[in-house]
Amino acid sequence: MRSKVGQIFAGLLIAAFSVTPTAAQTQSQIEKRYTRDYNQCMDAAEGVTVDMMDCIGAEIDRQDARLNQAYVMVMRPLSRAKKDQLRGLQRSWIRQRDARCSRASNDAGGGSLSGVVYASCILDETIKRTVFLENYKG
């Protein structure tokens, strides 16, 4: 269960940038993929920005490893043409993710919240992309 600080933080993030679910993923579905370590870390951070950024950074690393694992699994059986196509899609997704998260950060109005919003957006977009790859049919 999320602490009161975690609930307030989540509310701030949702208010700071509109979460537009990709592939019908709700924020709740995304949060179910957060690791226990991340949830515990965020609870312990108690709203301290630098501590939250450390938690988010570590979770991005964990989720990026999951994304890379899904990518490798999807790429393995594909034909050369399909691999080239998926590689191009991934590169495009990275550009779109970065632009989306930059907009969300800018919409947060500056200050320390902007960095947290950006990093949280990267985290959630990474999870969304992992789900996409896990369901990729090529």
Q: What are the residue ranges spanned by the domains of the chain?
A: 4-134
- Pick from 3-17, 24-38, 43-57, 81-95: least confident: 3-17
Amino acid at 110: G
Q: How far apart are the first and last CA of the chain?
A: 37
Query: What percent of the chain has pLDDT above 70?
Result: 83
DSSP per-residue string spanning 7-67? HHHHHHHHHHS----STT--HHHHHTTS-HHHHHHHHHHTT-HHHHHHHHHHHHHHHHHHH
Confidence band for 110, pLDDT divided at 50, 70 and 90: confident
pLDDT score recorded for residue 90: 97
pTM listed for this prediction: 0.82
Nearest to 33 by CA among 135, 126, 119, 96: 126
- Output the average pLDDT for the chain: 87
Residues 6+ apart with CB under 8 A from 32: none
